[in-house]
Chain A
Amino acid sequence: MSGEYLLEVRSEEIPARMLEPGVRELATRVFEELMARGLGPSEVETGYSPRRLVLILNGVPEREPDREEQVLGPPVSAAFAPDGSPKPALAGFAKKVGLEPDQISRVKTDKGEYLAAVKKTEGRPSKEVLAEIVPRILGGISWAKTMRWGSGEGPWVRPVHGIVSLLDGEVVPFDLFGIPAGDQTVGHPTLTPEPFRVRSVEDYRKELAARSLEVRPAERRRVLLETMKSRAEALGGRLVEDGPLLDKLAALCEVPGVMEGGFHEDFLELPAEVLATSLRDHQSALTVESPNGDHQLMPYFLTVMDRPDDPIGRTRSGNEWVVAARLADARFFYGEDRRAGLAHRAEQLERLTFQVRLGSYADKTSRLVALATTICDMLGCEASQAAAAVRLLKVDLATEMVKEFTSLQGIMGGIYAREEGQPEEVWQAVYDQYMPASMEDRIPRGRIGQVVGLADRMDTLVGIFGLGLIPTGSKDPFGLRRAAQGAVRIALEGGLPLDLEEIAARAAVLYSDRLTRSAEQILEDLRPFLHDRLRYVLGLAGYAYDEIEAALSTGVASLPDLKARVAALHQVREDANFLTVVLAAKRIVNILKDAPEEQLDEQFLTQPAERDLYTAFQGLRSEVEEAAAAGDYERCLRRIADLAPVLDRFFVDVLVMDPDPRVKANRIALLQAIHRTVSRTARLTEVVVDKAEARSRAGG
């Protein structure tokens, strides 16, 4: 094997979250710099553990390719006298490029004839190149947070302790923060701390394996997951998988050992959400559920240990000790909260600030009761359950459990509401209020939950926008983008025929004099903000940009309606006749640009083409209107597409700008009527048409 480079940098424990990006940056930059020098390796492999970054290259060429470059010297006229005898400039140039004067050639350029020499640069050995670039790249890794140590060494992510840097078994020397690269490393700090020498990549792998060290994170993750699954099975249960947590555990060890522990069955009286959150947040532990599909947890947990075994059982007892203490805390909070009851906690919302200028959560609650009621009225549904859910909505913020585990907000309120005997729609509305938390997350389950979730988000958006605190760039401290996205998704996916602007206006009124801006000013900013989220959500659903724009342009009085229009456009846009109508619509808009509103009078329809267009239009107008009113936008658009042949002929045969002003006015009136009807679904002029494609389709 030749051209094999092994780099291992040992340091004190690097934070789990920084390992993957750090090693990726290292590998990418080394690869790019080698490529730029013609030293691209055939294989790149990376690895890491909390204490090591590993980069393995294969097939690194032995040396850079030699380079030849032409060097221009002085003009020939300066180097030779007219009689052809050399002047000192010739010797000077020859000396500069390291050649004999008779090896100097000449080249013709635009500016005359010049002396020239071909300078050969011998490629450097890759060992030399690596020794130069590796320490620079290592030192320059952009860690999320850096530190200094000792007398000011650094900055780097953690103090560096050792470097193995070997090219085909030979040390590629350099130093990093005073630590010289060599061929020695160490094993696990407490289990196999003795230094050992490395001779090759193969040797390195063997030595690591002999010490049960695994530097490939994917392999550690695989081992952890497999072991945990089989342990869970052996316990008569099933592992509750948690991808992000497994990633983290795999980055916390270099020996992927699984720590299995248990807790007292009494703790199972805690809600499963609380158990899982406490175990995950405090002990980075996964849970085990019973295998019969009822998601009932079992009194076990599984986490990582950075060693293969637990020889005296202390690792297990230590972890169990901590878990018992944490669960005892959780049980204490649970008991306190249930004893106090949600009604009592509700009183504390007065003292919980929602936003300094927007008041407390008690203030928010009263606004939300009114806003949710308004939304229910808009939807024509009964408001009493929504109002009941709103009154309980934020109460869990005052509970001990949520103070301890903020990630349980909403969920905990839902659980307590359920335990207090609230109807399903009500407790689920509280439970689901922060959903969707991401694009992958689902929206609240029931209608009440959707209404309440929407009201909450609109209240927050209007309040913060009403103070002029509009998110810019990456700054969005109140999470308004997510709130807006949630609102849009709830209305879209919940099929709620609502006008968000109307709700926003109402929300602004409910703030009375707390806001510094008027409802109009707020809408001015909020409208494009909501539209951006809409574009994003619809875009992810597979609709094209122009389809969304076209539908948005005719208004957003109801989001499900908007979506139906986008979907219809998406369906018909491939239809050749429809494209003809789109092109005609663009033409009509141009013609109508500055035209005043005109009245149509049948008697002035003089030419056959315009009479045909009028007749055809009359024939489908009511059907188009009916289809649109029924929300059947596809039928609406397909009927409009039927106008294609007569529209085409109209534009061929008829000149709109007739010398007779009455005829001209009449034609404009006809086009205005047609334009109104074809724009019922979307502003067709927004649809992007490849004209050549449209023609060929029409022709075919």
Chain B
Amino acid sequence: MRKTFQELILKLSEFWAREGCVLQQPLDLEVGAGTMHPDTFLRVLGPEPWRVAYVQPSRRPADGRYGDNPFRLGKHHQFQVILKPSPLDVQRLYVRSLEAIGLDLTKHDLRFEEDNWEAPTLGAWGVGWQVMLDGMEITQFTYFQQAGGLELKPISAEITYGLERLTMFLSLSRNIYEIEWVEGLAYGQVRHQEEVELSKYYFELADVTFLQQQFEGYEREAGRCLEAGLVLPAYECALKCSHSFNVLDARGAVSVTERVALMKRVRDLAVGCAKAYVESREKLGFPLLQKEEAVEVADVR
């Protein structure tokens, strides 16, 4: 069973596209997880149905290891799926997606172990599992309960595959950099230099004053956008703040007390955007709702 990184992306994309998902592209900003993509974070709000799948390069500056650690990366890739409302057979769909990438589940041990997800900076939490395949965590499976401080209805199911880990698992490779991106070309050949240089930048070179200014600047800008009723630009600014914070953190420039305060500021922005997004969609008449669903909106909200 020789599986490449990109074959996994192709197979998963194909599977979820068939299930009616919008095959979206990664957000062109630095984010820590696929959840922060507006097509997840904002779309799960309000009554409109939504199905989407995409790859999201996810940056966690503090996890960088200069390309030395065979298991850890400062930037990894998530395959993210949102099904809203969560269909009753979502677990079955997920199992079929594993079959679609070539796993014969009658020969493996698949278990769902409790793992509840919480993102304080997004005012979001959910209930779910880490999915263990033969003892290895390959997916985070979450039913969103709240985002941006708002109770959700309908509920979205979020399925997040860790693409590098899954590829490593399928090829039983002991080194991320040795998995194949495409046949004949290793992951390390594509990304190693990036890991080395980004680690060096985030840990050693990043200008703390500049990052602090960037945080403040984007925070102001987000506020201005919100005042002008521009939700999506405001949210992008909030994501910029979040990334600046992550880099400051990796740089060791955030004390324990500052940490709490900065996280609260990011959270306030996220909550503000969430609220404004629902209002903006309401103004548009929740366009993705079917006619008969639209009638029920009053109940839903």
* B256 closest partner in A (C-beta): A353
Q: Which of A12, A257, A305, A323 contacts B112 (CB 8 A)?
A: A12
Summed over the interface, the residue pairs from A and B with CB atoms below 8 Å come to a total of 115
* A192 closest partner in B (C-beta): B106
Would you call A321 and B106 a contact (CB within 8 A)?
A: no
Would you call A315 and B114 a contact (CB within 8 A)?
A: no
Contacts of B174 in A (CB 8 A): 321, 324-325
Contacts of B85 in A (CB 8 A): 150-151
Bitwise interface map of A from 293 to 334 toward B, beta carbon under 8 Å scored 1, else 0:
000000000010111001110111111011111001100000
CA distance A13 to B141 in the complex (A): 12
Q: Which of B114, B136, B154 contacts A318 (CB 8 A)?
A: B136
Would you call B114 and A15 a contact (CB within 8 A)?
A: yes
Known interface pairs A189-B95, A190-B95, A306-B109; A150-B154 also in contact (CB < 8 Å): yes
* A309 closest partner in B (C-beta): B107
Asked if A50 lies at the interface with its beta carbon under 8 angstroms from chain B, I say yes
Asked if A145 lies at the interface with its beta carbon under 8 angstroms from chain B, I say yes
Q: Which of A16, A306, A310, A317 contacts B114 (CB 8 A)?
A: A16
CA distance A366 to B85 in the complex (A): 58
Bitwise interface map of B from 129 to 162 toward A, beta carbon under 8 Å scored 1, else 0:
1000111100000010100000011110100000
Asked if A159 lies at the interface with its beta carbon under 8 angstroms from chain B, I say yes
Known interface pairs A307-B109, A314-B107; A150-B86 also in contact (CB < 8 Å): yes
Asked if B286 lies at the interface with its beta carbon under 8 angstroms from chain A, I say no
Would you call A149 and B109 a contact (CB within 8 A)?
A: no
* A15 closest partner in B (C-beta): B114
Asked if B110 lies at the interface with its beta carbon under 8 angstroms from chain A, I say yes
Contacts of A257 in B (CB 8 A): 109
* Distance from A241 Cβ to chain B, minimum over Cβ atoms (Å): 21
Q: Which of A148, A150, A319 contacts B134 (CB 8 A)?
A: A319
Would you call A148 and B145 a contact (CB within 8 A)?
A: yes
Would you call A315 and B135 a contact (CB within 8 A)?
A: yes
Asked if B108 lies at the interface with its beta carbon under 8 angstroms from chain A, I say yes
Contacts of A321 in B (CB 8 A): 135-136, 169, 172, 174
Which residues of chain B (256-289) have a CB below 8 Å from chain A? 256-257
Would you call A318 and B134 a contact (CB within 8 A)?
A: yes
Bitwise interface map of A from 131 to 148 toward B, beta carbon under 8 Å scored 1, else 0:
000000000000001111
Contacts of B256 in A (CB 8 A): 353, 356
Known interface pairs A15-B114, A149-B155, A150-B86; A318-B91 also in contact (CB < 8 Å): no
Contacts of B135 in A (CB 8 A): 259, 283, 303, 305, 315, 318-319, 321-323
CA distance A305 to B134 in the complex (A): 8
Contacts of A146 in B (CB 8 A): 127
B interface residues with partner A (beta carbon < 8 Å): 70-71, 85-88, 91, 95, 105-114, 116, 126-127, 129, 133-136, 143, 145, 152-155, 157, 169, 172, 174, 256-257
> Closest 10 interchain pairs by CB?
A318-B134, A319-B135, A15-B114, A147-B127, A13-B112, A305-B109, A190-B105, A315-B109, A152-B153, A315-B134
Q: Can you name 13 A-B residue pairings with CB atoms under 8 Å?
A: A13-B114, A148-B145, A149-B88, A150-B85, A150-B155, A159-B86, A161-B88, A305-B109, A305-B111, A310-B109, A311-B107, A318-B109, A328-B70
A interface residues with partner B (beta carbon < 8 Å): 12-13, 15-17, 50, 145-152, 158-159, 161, 189-191, 252-253, 257, 259, 283, 303, 305-307, 310-312, 314-319, 321-325, 328-329, 353, 356
